[in-house]
A = this chain, B = another copy of it.
């Protein structure tokens, strides 16, 4: 018994959500228009009615993650005050964006390819990393962050800790929400796990 193709009631947003799920499951390279068509339950030509192809879907998806991240840097608490407090704010909000936009950020973190869009996404990620590293540097210069941990290394470890959350966080899961995780990350990274002497 064959199933009739579903009527195309997709908006660009809802089609994007399906595509991102498939990209994260199969990898971007491993995903064909055929896979997307099957997952969405509409024909390939219906998909082409919405977008030029899978690379456009990738661009839209990673843009959503990148826009969320870059918007953090424009927030008042990221722009005003001591660098260390701005960095804490950015750290907390990065966890917020990651947990709120989980599939999009997951896809962004896994991009490692040769298409123009993948190269562009990696370039934008580096740009974001540099801006956060600059904040880090300013906080060290203020004497608020320790100078004995190399800035590039500390930034990598901080980002590594934050990004690792995509490996296990599932929204709506029992217990922890994004806010609690953000608190824990800020606590661990800035104050450390040890109690005060």
Contacts and interface: CB of A to CB of B under 8 A. Distances in A.
A193 interface: yes
A169 to B, nearest CB: 9
User: Secondary structure of the A side of the interface?
Assistant: helix
Contacts of A67: none
A171 B149 CA distance: 20
Q: How many of these chains are in the complex?
A: 2
A148 B176 CA distance: 14
A188 B156 contact: no
A185 B164 contact: no
Interface residues of A, number: 35
Contact of A153 (B144, B176, B191): B176
10 closest A-B pairs by CB = A160-B164, A192-B192, A161-B161, A191-B192, A149-B184, A190-B194, A145-B193, A153-B184, A190-B192, A160-B161
Interface of A: 84, 143-146, 148-150, 153-154, 156-161, 163-165, 167-168, 176, 180-181, 184-185, 187-195
